[in-house]
Amino acid sequence: MKIKCLAIDDEPLALKQISSYIENTPFLENVALCQSAFEAMEYLSRNEVELMFVDINMPDINGMDFVKSLTNRPQVIFTTAYSEYAMEGFQVDAIDYILKPISYSVFLKSVTKAKTWFELNQKQPESVQASQECLFVKSEYKLIKILLQDIKYIESANEYIQIHQENDPPVTTLIRLKSMEEQLPKDKFMRVHRSFIVNLEKVKVIDRNRIVFDQKVFIPIGEQYKDHFQAFIDKTYLV
């Protein structure tokens, strides 16, 4: 397996270095080099990319804002001279955040982490089996049965998800949220955010574009999911 890579950096020498590192790494494939976020957007609109190396301090659109703007986001490794963006980088689920100047040993350690992520996620379809009443998920080498009626919401946590239940502790399993979404009945569960699926039967309170499950849990309704969720509300809304 080779991971399809795109590198973005407005500095030609830095871009050349990353390109050289990619080409010298057997499990990576260099599919594109871009000197701006706009150039990368154009490429991504027409081509499949699995992993991006993104510089942050770029003109017009910085790398962080560029990554946040993507709907179908490849995995990301930030490459930058500025350490102050590290926390924000991990908040957008970046695989890694490496500081310039970048040695090949640091680069290899980072992309090996990415390789592990892809290998784990290739196996994900096997980790959940669902029916109309329940699902079985793998968690800590065990198969756990969860009744669909007991699920309140499902939360993405990097490469894992957490299934939050009514009366039991959350169950963590290795599967992407999209794969889980495909297994669940569409009339009972809805994706309302990039990181959340909710059980529609458990939705009781909506406050300022958030679903309130209790005083500590507020599920945001994402912009791209708002119309779909509003259509569900409109079916039972009384003026």
Contacting residues for 39 by C-beta, under 8 A, at least 6 apart: 8
pLDDT digits (tens, 9 = 90+) for 200-222: 999 989 988 899 987 778 999 99
| CA-based nearest residue to 130, from 181, 174, 62, 176 | 181
Mean of all residue pLDDT scores within the chain: 87
Q: In the chain, how many H helices and how many E strands?
A: 7, 16
| CA-based nearest residue to 110, from 96, 123, 124, 100 | 96
For each of the domains in the chain, give its residue range(s) and CATH number, in order of start: 3-122 (3.40.50.2300), 126-236 (2.40.50.1020)
Q: Is the pLDDT of residue 18 over 50?
A: yes
Report the pLDDT averaged over residues 152-166.
Answer: 88
pLDDT value of position 144: 87
What's the pTM?
0.54
Confidence band for 85, pLDDT divided at 50, 70 and 90? low
pLDDT digits (tens, 9 = 90+) for 27-64: 999 999 999 999 999 999 899 899 999 999 888 888 99
